[in-house]
Structure 1
């Protein structure tokens, strides 16, 4: 109490604005993960209140609280699930508010908190750099921002934040301009076409998947150009800002191919390689499993089957767009989709899930154990053991979240396990795909799925760090004993 009292007395004479700024800076430095979660919760509250206003709906009526909260959370968490018709329920102003929410949510919970701290303190100091470094690598929150990844070193966080803002702007504008001619060919007026092109581009890069036009993707179901651009936007958003930052740096340095690859960090290599493997395996699985399903992507030739399977493989990892009713997938394809959605995209990206590097670390550990290696290695680099513990923790907490949410929703709705599990994993992985289960939910079920989206977006590691009051330093080690595993 004495320390707190002296602190209050020292700042009592300062203006209210200065005291508020110093208080926020102190809270951010003391508990950065909790500060980030608080920022995220605050944004959800703000956009829920905005969506409750009558002017946000097309008919001028007030939206139900559960629907407003669900939509605000889905937008901030860049999930894409909805309990109302996004095209007809919301007004043009409502669409603008939702798009703004997705842009803020896409920045990332810790990076967003860092930017908020920058606004408060008017400079990017050590505290804000620690927050941003934590978004790139959650372990930086526990290690003072140190990391092996060049993009997460404190000295380069300013450049990373600039990359976040610039890459989002350049990619969204670029994809929108490329989409514009195709939309104009549908006879859409130029102003409406510009808005529609930007909306599609923004929803692709943020991996949200909301569709604001009444026709949706119907005019472009077989359009390779349009769907291909959506895939590019989704992949660029889901690969992660640290990877984009590393690639942009290498392009600026104009290194030859071999030197450029040598400069890539282990994180960048693991993300790129694992992403490509998952895209190829996903496309192959959907091509095989849905080849005879005329209700989805089968029955229209090998090129259509292969392209639509690749589109599905990209979108299941967090994109959220679909060219057919997801409920028409066979059970085996639903299970494959569950797996891809749970994995998600890259770290510090607009995608959700447990992240591709997490699953890569688990497989590397399994191969190392099978070969009898004492350490994990990849691309001629040794991976520390604490990275494996973190990966296991992420998977365990993610699986626990999905299991608890599924059990509660099964009890509330009495629906089938495959439909419930699919939408729960979609919410946790912020994928946005649905079998139709979400739209049929009553208010209690909406609240459960809202919490699942929040848990999935802020990240299990961030939440665990936020709930932990402090790390305890152990000054002794106990006797070692090996239990039987397997």
Structure 2
């Protein structure tokens, strides 16, 4: 072969490889997954450096990878104490990863697309809108979506940080610089539903402080509603009848689940002196409400989770599995998925051909997506729980709690995370990643891949039940 031909072949090979990579990444689902992986790997590398640890030593890859995944996936599970193990640089890396994970990697990808003047396709726009929590921003450009998301996030975080700074400074005599640092860190962690705290006991020292507890609880609720709901409430908050079906379901389910979970947790722990039993009645209600809010996928705790009664752990498992609003910072299968399954069951029990929700017919493909997401979540939790039970000495209730917390990107823990074997910690790492991206990518891929069939097979019924 002539030298010129060999040279051309050698040049075409890498070009062809890069083109295949570009084609693979052109699909929005792959972009989301790759972007999250890139952020996690970059965070892992930074946290492994001696600068990241307070001791000045290098951090092991498992601890760094676990922490970076927990931060990017806004979970909050930790293997080491955030406030004492990590240096200021390490804590800054964690805070940055939380912010990146909260805003959504697809949002940052949309920023890059706008900066280089590229128009993203309809499918990419829809997915970036979902990940950026602006799913109802039809007709908006990528730039409008990104600017709206960033502006709203920073506004919420700034207000929350200001309130916390004043509280830490005036009521706890923290120096101004320390109060500012604590306020900003916990405001970002709370709004993004991350649950990272800078105290070894998380927020147990503030269990009876209504300002800290309610401010952080409010931030968690707002971040968990999702930006489609926040933006619609801003425009239509006076006219609930004009709300979209998504907003109606999210708001109604959020209020209902918060009330039920608060009552269930408070009653279950009322006489438990290891948690809220010794608190005065207002303190019991406050701590019960705070825990109920955090089971919606934030990881803060104002009572020791390991001392909760078994019935409280089981109830928390259910609430963590459900999660909060779609297209928000929360995890779980989302309240819309849970409520839609309820509507599907109700329609089937009544023998109705169509699923009706708030005088709206739910399309069949949306029903299938809800069932698929729920089945995907149940399968992941059951398999992971079985693996940990088979390879560790912990009981079912604490293992199940840990697995659901990881998959739901909640971050609450009974205290067994650091005691799990290495493969168990790696399994939770994978579970956090799958729990953060799984429902999103499964739901989005199902919606994007919907296509009509040009023929139908004969029907045949099977026996059900």
Distance 2:135 2:242 in 1: 9
| Alpha-carbon distance between aligned partners in 1 of 2:132 and 2:368, rounded to the nearest angstrom | 18
Q: Deviations over 1:117-163 (max 9, x none)?
A: 445556666464233134379xxxxxxxxxxx971524466544332
**Contact 2:47-2:64 at 8 Å conserved across structures:** yes
* 2:219 counterpart of 1:223: no
What is the match of residue 233 of structure 2? 247
| Structure 1 residue 108 corresponds to structure 2 residue 125 | no
- Equivalent position SS for 1:151: coil
Pairing partner for 2:28 from 20, 29, 32: 32
- Identify the residue that residue 450 of structure 1 maps to in structure 2: 429
Deviates more, 1:288-297 or 1:51-60: 288-297
Cα pair 1:353 1:430 within 8 Å, conserved: yes
Contact residue 127 and residue 444 of structure 2 kept, 8 A: no
CA spacing shift, 1:167–1:25, aligned 2, 3 Å: farther
User: Which SS does the other structure have where 1:87 is aligned?
Assistant: helix
**Shift of residue 300 of structure 1?**
2.7
Moved more, 168-177 or 409-418: 409-418
The alpha-carbon distance between structure 1 residues 87 and 168, as it changes in their structure 2 partners (threshold 3 A), is same
Q: How far, CA to CA, are the matches of 1:286 and 1:181 in structure 2?
A: 31
SS at match of 2:296: helix
User: Equivalents in 2 of 1:365, 1:274: separation in Å?
Assistant: 16
Q: What is the Cα deviation at residue 362 of structure 1?
A: 0.6
State the partner residue of 2:398.
Answer: 419
Deviation digits for residues 211-245 of structure 1 (CA, Å, limit 9, x no counterpart): 12457424422101110000010001111111112
What's the CA shift for 1:200?
1.1
What is the CA–CA distance in structure 1 between the aligned matches of 2:135 and 2:434, rounded to whole Å?
28
Distance 1:157 1:119 in 2: 10
CA offset at residue 434 of structure 1?
Answer: 0.2
CA distance in 1, matches of 2:426, 2:312: 28
Compute the displacement of 1:302 (Å).
2.7
Instruction: Please list, as runs of the form range in 1=range in 2, the aligned pairs for 1:339-418 lying within 5 A after superposition.
Output: 339-418=318-397
Conserved? CA contact 1:160–1:245, under 8 Å: no
1:175-218 per-position Cα deviation (integer Å, ceiling 9, x unaligned): 11111121012111101100101111111101111112457424
Residue pair 2:204, 2:304 contacting (<8 A) in 1 also: no
Compared with structure 1, are the counterparts of its residues 215 and 320 closer, same or farther at alpha carbon in structure 2 (3 Å cutoff)? Answer: closer
1:40 and 1:120, CA in 2 relative to 1: closer, same or farther beyond 3 A? farther
- The 1-side partners of 2:444 and 2:226 are apart by 21
Residue 36 of structure 1: CA displacement?
1.2
8 Å contact from structure 2 (residues 110, 143) kept in 1: no
Instruction: Determine if the alignment matches structure 1 residue 172 to structure 2 residue 123.
Output: no
In the superposition, relative to structure 1, how do residues 115 and 345 fare at CA in structure 2: closer, same or farther (>3 Å)?
A: farther
* Aligned partners of 1:80 and 1:431 also within 8 Å: yes
Aligned to 2:306: 327
Of 335-344 and 364-373, deviating more is 364-373
- RMSD (Å) for aligned C-alpha atoms: 2.7
What is the Cα deviation at residue 403 of structure 1?
Answer: 1.2
Quote the Cα distance in structure 2 between the aligned partners of 1:327 and 1:123: 50
Cα deviation for residue 469 of structure 1 reads 12
Question: CA-to-partner distance for each residue in 1:288-318, whole Å, 9 max, x for gaps?
Answer: 2111111112243332222211111101111
Hey, what does 1:151 align to over in structure 2?
136
Change beyond 3 A, Cα 1:128–1:32: closer
Q: Which residue of 2 aligns with 1:436?
A: 415
TM-score when normalising by structure 1: 0.87
1:66 aligns with 2:52: no
Residue 112 of structure 1 deviates from its aligned partner by 4.2
| 2: CA distance, partners of 1:71 / 1:415 | 22
1:181 to 166, 171, 175: 166
Tell me which of 40, 45, 55 is aligned to 2:41: 45
Structure 1 residue runs of 5 or longer lacking an equivalent are: 1-7, 138-148, 252-256
**C-alpha distance in structure 2 between counterparts of 1:128 and 1:464, whole Å:** 14
Contact 1:37/1:466, CA 8 A, preserved across alignment: no
Contact 2:323-2:332 within 8 A present in 1 as well: yes
1:298 is aligned to 2:294: no
CA distance in 2, matches of 1:420, 1:50: 30
Determine the C-alpha separation between the residues in 2 that align with 1:459 and 1:240. 17
Answer yes or no: is the 8 Å Cα contact 1:321–1:433 preserved in 2. Answer: yes
What corresponds to 1:145 in structure 2? Answer: none
Q: How many residues align structurally?
A: 453
Give me the whole-angstrom Cα distance separating, in 1, the residues matched to 2:142 and 2:244: 15
Alignment deviations for residues 354-412 of structure 1 (CA, whole Å, 9 cap, x no partner): 00000010111112222222211122211111111111100111011111111111222
TM-score by length of 2: 0.90
2:86 pairs with 1:90: yes
- Structure 2, unpaired ranges of 5+: 1-7
